[in-house]
Amino acid sequence: MPITTTASDTTSLVHAAIDVHEPGQKPGKVGALITTIDFQLNPKELTVTKSAKWESKSQKKSASAPPTTYQGPDPQKMSVEMYFDETRQRDGSVVKRVEALFEACTPTSASVDGNRPSAPWVKFRWGVLTGFVGYIKSVAAKYTLFSPDGTPLRAVCTVALEELANEPSKQNPTSGGLQPRHSHVVREGDSLAAIAYAEYGDPARWRDLADVNGIDDPLRLRPGATVLIPTLEELARADGRVIARKEIARALVR
């Protein structure tokens, strides 16, 4: 009697993974593959969110809801848990797997050498689920089992990913043609100095951010607003153009 092969017999197990790439030169286009972080166990669930920005201005005398204006889409977000287990390995440890996720939140060597420091761009993939091009926004590691000498043998990592723009940024008329590579969405308590420190390591760069974004009052940032972030190279070119214009003006006065 012939044996019937079912679909489940022929279906191979596909493991989820996060591909870690060098930052791309164009929006939505990743650079060279750095490494792949595999899921030891496929996730039980994952959460994907997409939202849009709408703005409404309340009117004291209005008896109905105020008019609302669409401001554009927010980045797509994904949250997923990664389970690591090295209990079956002699002298096993999950530390290297967890550190690989932490390293994906820090600038790559190539981007630092090119004076364009940026954390890697990543893509989540699992079967037909090919995620957006984004970055790892946060990693929270919870070690759940240790060996007698304190070596972590099991861990659960909650990984939050956020989408990067897949279209070129439009020129900002106040910036002299700068094309920022990414942006920052203002949250409650943010300041331009804090954003400049986080992006460039120099809080004094808040003036550049104010100029690029046409912000007249840096002390009054509206939560939900988008601050465009040029690279240091672009800021240097802009500074050079300003200095050149000033030198030409002084020469004309003479």
The mean pLDDT of 231-245, rounded to a whole number, is: 59
More confident residue, 243 or 214: 214
Per-residue confidence (pLDDT) for residue 107, from 0 to 100: 93
Query: Residue 229: how many CA atoms within 13 Å on its side-chain side?
Result: 21
User: What is the DSSP code string of 193-246?
Assistant: HHHHHHHHS-GGGHHHHHHHHT-S-TT-PPTT-EEEE--HHHHHHHHHHHHHHH
Per-residue confidence (pLDDT) for residue 244, from 0 to 100: 40
Long-range pairs of 192-200 with CB within 8 A, sequence gap ≥ 24: 192/218, 192/221, 192/227, 193/218, 195/227, 195/229, 199/229, 200/232
- What percent of the chain is predicted at pLDDT more than 90? 38
Single-letter residue type at 91: D
Provide CATH code, domain 173-253: 3.10.350.10
Per-residue confidence (pLDDT) for residue 70, from 0 to 100: 81
Q: What is the pLDDT of residues 139-194, one digit of tens each?
A: 999 999 999 999 999 999 999 999 987 765 554 444 444 444 577 888 878 888 88
pLDDT band at 249 (very low <50, low <70, confident <90, very high): very low
φ and ψ at 192, to 5 degrees?
-65, -35
Do the domains spanning 14-54+69-163 and 173-253 agree at the CATH topology level?
Answer: no
Closest CA to 22 of 137, 132, 118, 133: 118
Query: What CA–CA distances, in Å, run from 74 to 47, 106, 139, 210?
Result: 16, 23, 21, 22
CA separation for the pair 191, 227 (Å, rounded): 11
The mean of the pLDDT values for the chain is 80
Per-residue confidence (pLDDT) for residue 91, from 0 to 100: 85
Q: In residues, how long is the chain?
A: 254
Cβ atoms < 10 Å from Cβ of 14: 12
Per-residue confidence (pLDDT) for residue 154, from 0 to 100: 95
Q: What is the pLDDT of residues 37-89, one digit of tens each?
A: 999 999 999 999 999 888 777 666 666 666 778 878 888 999 999 999 999 88
Q: What is the pLDDT of residues 107-140, one digit of tens each?
A: 999 988 888 889 999 999 998 887 789 999 999 9
Domain ranges of the chain: 14-54+69-163, 173-253
CATH of 14-54+69-163, one of 1.10.20, 3.40.50, 4.10.410, 2.40.160: 4.10.410
Cβ atoms < 10 Å from Cβ of 24: 16
